[in-house]
Structures are given as C-alpha cells and as structure tokens.
Amino acid sequence: MKAGRTIRQQRGPVAAVIAICALIVLYGLARLLSGVLVEYWWFRSLGQGSVYTRILFTKVWLWWAGFAVAFCAPALGFLIARRSTGPVLVTNIRWGSFAFSLAGARRMVGALFWAGAVVVGLAGGSAAVALWRRVLLFLHRTPFGVTDPIFQNDIGFYVFTVPLLGYLRGMLVVLVWVSLVVAALYYVVSGVLAVGQLAVLPQRALSHLNKTVAVIFLLAAAGFFLERYELLYSTAGVTYGAGYADVHVRLPACWMMLAASVGLAVALFRANSPARTRGVLIALGVWAGLWLLSRALCPALIQAVRVTPNELQLEEPYIARSIAHTLAAYKLDGIREVQYAVAEDLSYEEVLADPQTIDNVRLWDWRPLRDTYRQIQAIRSYYDFNDVDVDRYELARGYTQTLLSVREMQHEKLAPEARTWVNERLQYTHGYGLCLSPVNEATEDGLPLLTVKDIPPAGPPQLSLTQPQIYYGESMGDYVFVNTATEEFDYPLGDENVRVRYAGEGGVPVGGPLSKVLFALYFGDVKVLLSEDLAKGSRVMYYRHVRSRVQRLAPYLLLDDDPYPVVHEGHVVWIQDAYTATRLYPYSRPSLNGRLNYIRNSVKAVVDAYDGKVTLYVADPDDPLIRAYSSIFPGLYTPLDQMPGSLRRHLRYPERFFSMQVAMYAAFHMRDPRVFYNQEDLWELAFERYRGQEQPVEAYYIIMRLPDSEEAEFLLMLPLTPKGRDNMIAWLAGRCDGEHYGELVSYRFPKGKLIAGPLQVESWIDQDPDISQQLTLWGQGGSRVIRGNLLVIPIAGGILFVEPLYIQAEAGAIPQLKRVLTAYGKRVAMAPTLAESLRAVFAAGEPAAARPVEALAVEGAVPPGEAAGLLQQALDRYGRAQAALQEGDWAEYGRQMGLMKQRLDALNEVLGAPEAE
C-alpha cells in the first residue's frame, strides 16, 4: 500500500504539469483561432473577405508544402543511412580521448531522428509561409515590356521569377546539408563512421554521402547560373549595373564555375569506392582554385590592367544603360525640360499681374500653425491636431490654397482619473471636425484667418460637415465599441456634453457570446467578455489608424508617411498615397539604403473617417506590379476614373515620391555618359536655414502659373543647386491638377547666369542692418523669433523669395505671424503684410530719380504707375465679395470688402500723390 501511495504521489505533480501544458496548448489554439476569425471579420467588413482567404489559403498550402519537403530531407537521409548500415548500434563512441556511452539511448535513437525531422519540417513550413507574396506574383506575373541589354529577358523575369528561384535554391541547399548531417550522425551513432576511418565506410554508405554532396554541387551550379543575373545589379564598376569587367570576366567565370560544379557532381555520383573518393578530393581542390581565380584574381587583374587605364572608353555604353534604366525605373524618362531665362528687371506691376500666385503664397508653415491650432481650436484637452496638411478648395475668393488639420481624440490626454475602460472604449470614441484656413491670410493679431472652425464646425456651405465625427485618423490606434448601452460622447457644448449613437456601418458586429469571447482573446482584454454594455447591434472598430488600416488590407504596398484629409460631400475622408516598388530593376541605381530601385505611385487609398471604408484606386495602370496584384486580388482595386470628380480634384503629387525622384534627377539629368562619368554637372537639393539650422529645402505645394501655362495650378516644387554651391541651377515641378496630374517639369536656369539660392538670400536678410536690428530687439525682449521656410516662387519670368516671420511671446504661447520678408535680386524687405513687403522690395529697386520725393520719405508708399493693377485687384475683391454674398458666407463677404477697401485706399494714395518737382 505504501508503494501505491508513493506511485500516486509521484503521478500527482506529473498530472498537474500535463494539465498545465494542455491548458497552454488550448489557450494558444484559441488565440490562433480568434486571430484568424477576427482578421477575417475585419476584411469582410470592408467587403474584401476573399482577399484574406486568398492570402490565408496560400500560406496554409505553402506551410504544408514546406513542411513536407523539409521533413523529407532529414527523413530520407536517416532512412537511406539506416538501410545502408542496418539498425545495429554500438555501445560506445570514441573520438580520440572522448568517449560517449549509448547503452541507455539505444531505443531512443530512431525516435530522436524522427523528432528532429519533425522540427526541421516545422521550420521549413514557417520559412515557406514567407514566400506567399513571391509565389502569388510568380503565378500572376506580367511583362514590363522592357528587356535587359545583356540577356534580353523581360524585366518581369527578374522581378517575378528570379527571386523565387533563388529563394527555393537556398532552401534546398540548407535541406540537403541537413540531410547530409543527419546521415553522417547516423553513421557515427551506428559505429560505421569515426574520425580517420572514412576509408572503411561500407560502399553503400560512402556512395550515399558522396551523392548527397553531389546534389549540393548541383545546387551550387544552379546558384552560378542564377548569379549571372546578379551581375545586372553589380556595384563593381563606375556605375550601377554590369560593367565591362562584369560582362567580359565575371560572366564567363560564372559559366566556368557552373561547368566545374556539374563536373564535380558527376564525379561524386560515380565515386562509390575510397579510391575514386580520393580522386574527387583532388577535383575539389581544383574547383576551389578555380573559384578563387574567378572571384578575386582575374576580375581585379582585368580591372587594373585593362579597364582602369581605359575606363571612360570601355564603360561608356554601360553608363548609358544605367542612366536610361534609372530614369525609367523612377519614372523620370518622361520629364519635360524647359529653359527658364530668369528676368532680372521684374517690376511690381508684373508681379501684381499674377494675382492667383500672389494671393496663394504660403505664409503659414505647418509647425507654428499646428501649435496655433492647438492653442485656439483644441477646445478641450483630450483633442489634438496631429498634423497640418496642404490642399486647395474653390472658395468665394476663387481657387485657394489652404491648410487644414483634423481634430482627433487623444485618450492619453484625458485626465488620469477619467482614463477608465468605459471612457476609453465606449464613450470617448471619436474626434470631431477640423480647422481650415487660407495659407496667406492672418488677422490683425497675427493669427490664422479660419474658414472652418469651432465645435460644431462653422464654415462656408461648400465646406459644411454633415458627419464631423472622426473615428479613423492619424493617431487613433486603439479599438473602441459603438452602439453600446452607453451613449458616446460627441462634443462639448458649454457646461454640457452632447451624446450620440453611431449611425454608420463601420466596424465589426460584436454582442453575441462567441464573438465577445473571441474579441476578448484577440485583444487580450477580459473586460470585453465581462462588459454588459455590449449587446446586439454593438460594433467594434479596430485598425483605426489610416496607415495601418491600408497596410493591413494591402501589406505588400509601400505607404507614404503623410495621409491627408479632404472635406468631401459633408464628411472627412483620408487620401493615403501608396507605392509599388522593387529593388530588382536591372541597371537602376537603388535608393533608401538599397531597399528599392523601382517605384511607382500606383495606388490612391481613400479611407472614410466615419465608417472606415477603404477604396484602393489604381493611379498608374501601366505599372506591371499593380497589374499583377490586381490579378491576384480581383475586386480589390478600382480604376481611378471611377473616383468621384469632386474627390479627384484633391489628389496631390506625393512629396515622398517627388523628393526621391528629384534626388535621382539631380545626378541622372546628365544623360551624356561622358558628362555623367566626370560628374561635371552634379546637382543637389537646395539648403535653407530653419530655426538656426541648415537643412535641405523640403518639397512644398504652391498655386502658381507655370511659365508656359495660362492658368494657375496646384503643384509641388523644389529648387536645386550645383553640388557644393549655394546658387540655384534649376527647379522642378510636379503637377497635380486635372489631365496634367503626374507630369514633371524641369526648369533650368542659364548656366552663364548666377541665380541666388535660398542660403544666399538668408545671408542677405541677416546682413540687412534694419532687419537684423529689429530681430535682435524682439529676441532680447523675451520673445522667440521663428523664421519660417524660405519659399522660392517663380513668377512673371523672375524669381521671388518669401519668408514668413512669427513671434512667440514665451514658451507655450501662441505663435503669431508678424512680418513677411521678401527678396528679389539682392534687395530684401520686411513688412507686416506680403503686399507691403512686395511694395517695399520693388520700391527699393527703383532709381531715386524715378521716384517722387514724398514717396521716398513715406515708409511703405506705393510706387506710381500701378493704378491699373490696384484697380484690377479691387475689382477682383469686389467680385469675390459678391460671390460670397450669393453663397450666404457673410464672414467671407466682410473680409473681401475690407480687402477691397485696402486696394482702393492704396489707389487713392497713388492717384493723389503729388508729382516730384
């Protein structure tokens, strides 16, 4: 009986451990099941359940295929080895002075080998799952319509086929090595193989090992075959891609090593005796010598003796290939290049003759404006403005460039005692409304003139918001529940809060016991299961961040960093630019630290801020990658021509894509291989001084009239300078409007003319004694002087510079727009408004004899001869005021009438100015 109690006492802890392990396994399986179902429900809520099932089934199929192949490799090695030697095991293994006893492991050896095969199979299955995208792209590959110049293969072969072949070859190499190691281990365990006793191996065992090694060399031969294609991405020459030494030395060397590897494999297949095996060892030494000769000695020798002394002559055709393929890969081959003869005698009247450009000069930088929005429009501490974006709208004043920011909910900013589960998950579920203001207008106090503001949002009819709730945004990542027993907080109204119930179709239904269990497991939150507020009709919203939402739906797309909001049909939608990219475009120089060398802005994703609906529009149907993805996931992508016209008018050329293109164009605008080789005309991004630090000028949006266009348009631009110099050499524009969307234009300055760049203009501003003294006085008074981005504005054939200046009374105070700096030629001026600053900078350039004495004495006086321009501006403001009156926008009407009065007062000043004696 004591023995029985002892056995039961021993079984108790074992049973507990088994029970705990079983619970862990069950919990893991439940988490796995909840993940699959919750993810599927999310895709289905967007109408894309088939996308998830396609990816899931592909992964499952690949896992089983990978498991089967990976399991078979060690299993075959073990079975063949056991068949070659039999199941006889020795009691002890000795390697020199080391001895290991197998007396207690005799029965476990087979089980251990099979367990090892299972482990290898699991690893192989997991590795194969990562191939799902490559496998689907291979199955739905599409041609690029362009061939490489060396092998004459379509580019699609390198993008869709070669990567998969390389990955599969690598996996097979690993598995064959595993099979070899397993077989060798079995031979050791069986006592057949010991150190120094290779010659006494049975013929079958020796033949097995030799044939396994032969397979490794056959795979090496396949590797040399694929390595030929890697020469298209060579960095050994003067430019990216296969050069002279690659084509004439390394390519033949690949064929030589391929033949040597096949020959060695054949010899290994035939080596079924120790005598022949010794001959194989000699052949292996020869193979190693050839490898060293082909990899290190010959290429270096040819490069030093043949290529370097004649580099330009020999490399010229390869440089031309790299230039052509890089331009095509970054969509720069269609850029239009125009000479821009900079006018040095621009007049004030000529500037006034382009009112659409002047009226849309951006005087508000997004950083100080975001701080201002937070101070004057956050309303409550739990609201925040995450970013400020540039767009354009048709307002009463006409085609207007605007800045806008969405008011999002920030749970982190709730009071600590208010950060309860009910508040964060059930009540404070959404942001509310947005702020919008023109880029160039400010109040008398230096604050932005808000067109849309407050809670509830107030603005002109064309910007009215019928659904101002923001459930999906740039900083709203947590999951929330709507349509629960607890009403949601909508917005503050005086001392009371307005409540609301969600009326949309966003999110996934939750309320049943099973769904609550699954969501509790998925979120790791037991309160989801215990909450009595979740009932029939409740919905859960997750993946609420715009970027993560699009990335979840299309994980293979590269996303832009800056989604931007658009007011469309009474509610807010987000536009997220997405790219297709690869690093496998032959001869194209890589960027982003080698991550890609081909990119297209192929997709415009639109995310509704109220219900989270995602629509992926194909913006570049000629891109082979997006055509392949459209074939893989039918129904996921929508042609761009099906996008509503009112929304399409808000598409922007993306900054990230444009900046990448400009960085490449700075070097590859040199299309002559000889000029490119000498780097005679290398450009770089212009630099500016911002908040005391030199930094590259960031691409900026502007409404302006291009030199060869009749209408002003919304575009993205960047100035360029020669490498290592501060003067400008060119500026690039990416067009955003209408049928011209996506067009790139390069305006080049005459090389014989010195055009000042942003840093030089910054220096002129610093050297101006009056401006410098005023800035110093403001700074000494305890205020913080913030100089905004210096804008380069091509206008009327000349180049104008504008820089806003803000004053911040103290840390945390509201930044106020106080002055506008302008520069033309070497003249600079500073005034409270852009109009006054322009008047001053052009007045400073007139000869003294041409100006009235009284005008010289009066600060900010209007130069004569501009009456027609002022009259036209006054009439334009009157027309805008009447348009605002018809739309019932009384605030805009009053503002335009005030601006008209300013123009009439200035006109009166000009007409009433006495003539010089």
pLDDT at 894: 73
pLDDT surpassing 90 at residue 335: yes
Which of 17-21, 359-363, 450-454 has the lowest average pLDDT? 17-21
Listed in sequence order, the DSSP H helices in 359-409 are 366-377
Q: Is 236 exposed, middle or buried (0-12, 13-18, 19+ CB in 10 A)?
A: middle
Greater confidence, 878 or 583? 583
pLDDT at 301: 87
Contact between 727 and 817 (Cβ < 8 Å): no
Greater confidence, 878 or 647? 647
Q: Which helix (H) or strand (E) holds 854?
A: helix 853-857
Q: Is 757 exposed, middle or buried (0-12, 13-18, 19+ CB in 10 A)?
A: buried
pLDDT surpassing 90 at residue 252: yes
387 phi-psi bin (left φ>0, alpha ψ -120 to 50, beta other): beta
pLDDT surpassing 60 at residue 340: yes
Greatest extent of the chain over all pairs of C-alpha atoms, in Å: 133
Q: What is the mean pLDDT of residues 566-572?
A: 94
Measured in whole angstroms, the distance separating CA 212 from the mean position of its chain's CA atoms is 45
pLDDT surpassing 50 at residue 852: no
Buried b (16+ CB within 10 A) or exposed e, 336-347: eeeebebeeebb
Contact between 665 and 332 (Cβ < 8 Å): yes
Q: What are the tokens at 339? A: 């000479």
CA 710/CA 53 separation, integer angstroms: 52
> What is residue 878's DSSP assignment?
H
pLDDT at 845: 56
Contacts for 674 with CB less than 8 Å, ≥ 6 apart: 312, 316
What is the average pLDDT value for the chain, to the nearest integer?
A: 87
Residue 365's nearest CA partner among 808, 686, 796, 744 is: 808
pLDDT at 870: 65
Q: What are the tokens at 777? A: 């006085």
Q: What is the mean pLDDT of residues 781-803?
A: 89
Q: Any idea of the CA torsion for 804, 808, 814, 818, to the nearest 10 degrees? A: -40
pLDDT at 124: 94
Contact between 500 and 473 (Cβ < 8 Å): no
pLDDT at 65: 96
Which of 19-23, 669-673, 728-732 has the lowest average pLDDT? 19-23
Band the pLDDT of 886: cuts 50, 70, 90. low
pLDDT at 83: 84
Q: What is the mean pLDDT of residues 830-840?
A: 91
Helix then strand then coil, in percent of the chain rounded to 5, is 50, 20, 30
Tens-digit pLDDT profile for residues 263-279: 999 988 887 776 676 77
Tens-digit pLDDT profile for residues 435-492: 999 999 998 888 999 999 999 999 999 999 999 999 999 988 789 999 999 999 999 9
Contact between 683 and 661 (Cβ < 8 Å): no
Band the pLDDT of 849: cuts 50, 70, 90. very low
pLDDT at 12: 64
CA 233/CA 243 separation, integer angstroms: 10
Contact between 670 and 649 (Cβ < 8 Å): no
Contact between 332 and 661 (Cβ < 8 Å): yes
CA 449/CA 244 separation, integer angstroms: 62
Contact between 85 and 200 (Cβ < 8 Å): no
Which of 200-209, 302-311, 389-398 has the lowest average pLDDT? 200-209
Q: What is the mean pLDDT of residues 520-547?
A: 93
Residue 56's nearest CA partner among 37, 28, 83, 84 is: 37
Query: Hey, which of 10-14, 203-207, 283-287, 809-813 has the most confident mean pLDDT?
Result: 283-287
pLDDT at 860: 35
Tens-digit pLDDT profile for residues 751-767: 888 899 999 999 999 88
Site of tokens 């440089």: 319
pLDDT surpassing 90 at residue 857: no
Q: What are the tokens at 20? A: 């705990």
Band the pLDDT of 8: cuts 50, 70, 90. low
pLDDT surpassing 80 at residue 839: yes
pLDDT surpassing 70 at residue 3: no
Q: What are phi and psi of 597, to 5 degrees?
A: -140, 15
CA 663/CA 502 separation, integer angstroms: 46
Residue 902's nearest CA partner among 864, 863, 862 is: 862
- For strands 336-339 and 712-722, give the pairing: unpaired
CA 129/CA 254 separation, integer angstroms: 31
pLDDT at 853: 28
Band the pLDDT of 284: cuts 50, 70, 90. confident
Which of 181-195, 413-427, 517-531 has the lowest average pLDDT? 181-195
Q: What are phi and psi of 481, to 5 degrees?
A: -115, 140
CA 342/CA 801 separation, integer angstroms: 14
Contacts for 793 with CB less than 8 Å, ≥ 6 apart: 357, 361, 702, 704, 799, 800, 801, 802
pLDDT at 94: 57
Q: Within 13 A of 472's CA, how many CA atoms are on the CB side?
A: 32
Q: What are the tokens at 588? A: 């194209």
Listed in sequence order, the DSSP H helices in 241-346 are 244-245, 251-270, 274-292, 298-302, 311-329
Q: Any idea of the CA torsion for 321, 327, 331, 337, to the nearest 10 degrees? A: -130
Counting DSSP H helices and E strands in the chain, the numbers are: 29, 32
pLDDT surpassing 80 at residue 841: yes
pLDDT surpassing 50 at residue 607: yes
Band the pLDDT of 300: cuts 50, 70, 90. confident
Q: What is the mean pLDDT of residues 5-17?
A: 63
